[in-house]
């Protein structure tokens, strides 16, 4: 099931890129127009949320040492979320309210199924900061979905105005209390393995991160809704402390790593840089917005794009670790234990490293171009970012799937050939005339 989610996320990234090409000009004039909202939701729902849902279904049983409640519920969650994550952006772009309502209903069903399925393993106690973070992230997903349902119901009203404070509260909860917090929690389990790092005192930073991030969002989101400056400052401080603890943990793992620098390190470090860029753009937008509304909105939208780059970089980077691990286990279970050279099969044999480096370059350039285009209101840069996103989705999906599928096909062909050779043809029957018997010589008397 995790591979199904991740494969759908690659397809969502392609759709996100195409949508941003289409929304390049409207984004320069109004970052809150329907087509821009559609492009953003292709990124947040069909790409990021789809990939994070796959990570939850993969790592929740690992970190809790408890199975999911049901594999059937996982399949139902995938199907309903796949439909919802495409129907909602399509409905926004086409302004078809029936499509939007259908997507919203399916999204509510998918969230309910996920909560039911994960509630049992996440109830495990004594599993440390990652499980605590995943519990908070699941709650953040529910709150994000509630915001979305209200928006779907009130599309014709003025309460959920995209140019107002409600959409910013919605974005903060979705980016940090759902998507970002899932990464923060899971990373505390993955970094020691992927970096081969034993960090003294790393658990302290991880505990601070998984508690401070949701607490900061719990203060900041109501402050944005009510316009309370003091509460907003408190929320920003607590959220910044959580993000700072997350970056501190990352820095400690990078310093104490025993694995040499590789592409995964490039993804993770670049992801952290986009997080810092997003924080800077968000602060600039908050300062400029009261004085120059259009410029402030553009900077705020660019901040959201940068935070999306933070999550996209880490999603694609960790996919190059997680997908080969799952594929390796599946191949070994089918009797494939060697690579093409006849040596023992390794994780690194299951994808092309040149293509992986290309995907890193495409994704980084695309995120940077999109942030620049949205902030400076440059349609050409925004469209370029969309094209690079679409290319990244194609390259990542093809690269991670091609080698395992080729190995499976080769194995099936070898099995078929062996089976064909082992079936012997029926023996040939040769009829020969019987030899004439000579009469026995009589003994002489």
Does residue 355 fall inside a structural domain?
Answer: yes
Does residue 443 fall inside a structural domain?
Answer: no
pLDDT at 411: 65
Calculate the dihedral angle through the C-alpha atoms of 8, 87, 158, 26, rounding to the nearest 10 degrees.
Answer: 70
pLDDT at 101: 85
Does residue 86 fall inside a structural domain?
Answer: no
Query: Do residues 187 and 139 touch, judged by C-beta distance below 8 A?
Result: no
Give me the DSSP letters along 216-280: HHHHHHHHHHHT-HHHHHHHHHHHHHHHHHHHHHHHHHHHTB-SPP-HHHHHHHHHHHHHHHHHH
**Alpha-carbon gap, residue 2 to 57, rounded angstroms:** 6
Does residue 339 fall inside a structural domain?
Answer: yes
Query: Do residues 305 and 377 touch, judged by C-beta distance below 8 A?
Result: no
User: Whose structure tokens read 């129907």?
Assistant: 87
Number of folded domains that form the chain: 1
Does residue 424 fall inside a structural domain?
Answer: no
CA 416 to chain CA centroid, Å, is 37
Per-residue confidence of the chain (445 residues) as pLDDT tens digits? 778 888 899 999 999 999 999 999 988 888 878 899 899 999 999 999 999 999 888 888 888 888 888 888 999 999 999 999 999 999 988 888 889 888 988 999 999 999 999 988 888 887 788 888 899 999 999 999 888 877 777 665 555 555 557 788 888 999 999 999 999 998 888 888 888 877 776 678 888 999 999 999 999 999 988 888 889 899 999 999 999 999 998 988 888 888 888 888 999 999 999 999 999 998 888 888 778 878 888 898 899 999 999 999 999 998 888 888 887 777 777 777 777 777 787 777 788 889 999 999 999 999 999 999 999 999 999 999 999 999 999 999 999 888 777 777 776 655 655 555 555 444 443 334 444 445 455 444 3
pLDDT at 151: 74
**Alpha-carbon gap, residue 318 to 312, rounded angstroms:** 10
Does residue 35 fall inside a structural domain?
Answer: no
Does residue 404 fall inside a structural domain?
Answer: yes
Does residue 374 fall inside a structural domain?
Answer: yes
Domain ranges, residue 335: 290-295+307-410
pLDDT at 150: 77
CB atoms within 10 A of CB 62: 13
pLDDT at 236: 92
């Amino acid at each position: 099931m995790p591979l199904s989610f991740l494969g759908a996320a690659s397809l969502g990234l392609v759709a996100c890129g195409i949508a941003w090409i289409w929304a390049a000009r409207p984004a320069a004039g109004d970052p809150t127009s329907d087509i821009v909202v559609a492009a953003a939701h292709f990124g947040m729902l069909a790409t990021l949320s789809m990939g994070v849902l796959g990570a939850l279904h993969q790592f929740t049983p690992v970190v809790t040492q408890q199975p999911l409640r049901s594999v059937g519920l996982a399949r139902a969650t995938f199907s309903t979320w796949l439909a919802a994550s495409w129907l909602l952006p399509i409905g926004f772009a086409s302004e078809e309210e029936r499509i939007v309502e259908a997507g919203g209903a399916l999204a509510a069903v998918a969230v309910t199924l996920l909560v039911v399925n994960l509630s049992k393993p996440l109830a495990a106690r004594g599993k440390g900061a990652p499980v605590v973070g995943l519990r908070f992230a699941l709650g953040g997903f529910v709150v994000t979905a509630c915001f979305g349902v209200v928006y779907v119901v009130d599309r014709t009203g003025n309460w959920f105005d995209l140019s107002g404070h409600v959409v910013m509260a919605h974005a903060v909860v979705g980016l940090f209390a759902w998507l970002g917090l899932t990464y923060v929690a899971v990373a505390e389990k993955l970094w020691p393995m992927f970096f081969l790092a034993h960090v003294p005192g790393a658990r302290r930073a991880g505990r601070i991160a998984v508690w401070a991030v949701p607490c900061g969002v719990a203060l900041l989101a109501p402050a944005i809704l009510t316009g309370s400056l003091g509460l907003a400052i408190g929320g920003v401080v607590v959220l910044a402390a959580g993000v700072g603890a997350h970056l501190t943990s990352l820095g400690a793992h990078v310093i104490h790593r025993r694995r040499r620098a590789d592409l995964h390190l490039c993804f993770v470090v670049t992801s952290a840089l986009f997080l810092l860029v997003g924080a800077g753009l968000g602060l600039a937008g908050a300062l400029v917005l009261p004085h120059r509304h259009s410029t402030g909105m553009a900077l705020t939208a660019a901040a959201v794009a940068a935070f999306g780059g933070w999550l996209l970089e880490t999603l694609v980077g960790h996919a190059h670790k997680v997908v080969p691990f799952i594929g390796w286990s599946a191949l070994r279970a089918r009797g494939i234990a060697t690579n093409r050279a006849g040596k023992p099969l390794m994780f690194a044999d299951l994808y092309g490293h040149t293509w992986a480096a290309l995907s890193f370059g495409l994704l980084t350039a695309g995120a940077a171009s999109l942030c620049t285009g949205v902030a400076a209101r440059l349609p050409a840069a925004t469209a370029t970012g969309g094209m690079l996103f679409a290319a990244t989705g194609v390259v990542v999906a093809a690269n991670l799937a091609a080698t395992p599928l080729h190995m499976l096909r080769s194995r099936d062909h070898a099995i078929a050939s062996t089976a064909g050779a082992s079936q012997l043809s029926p023996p040939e029957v040769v009829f020969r005339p019987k030899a004439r018997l000579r009469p026995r010589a009589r003994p002489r008397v």
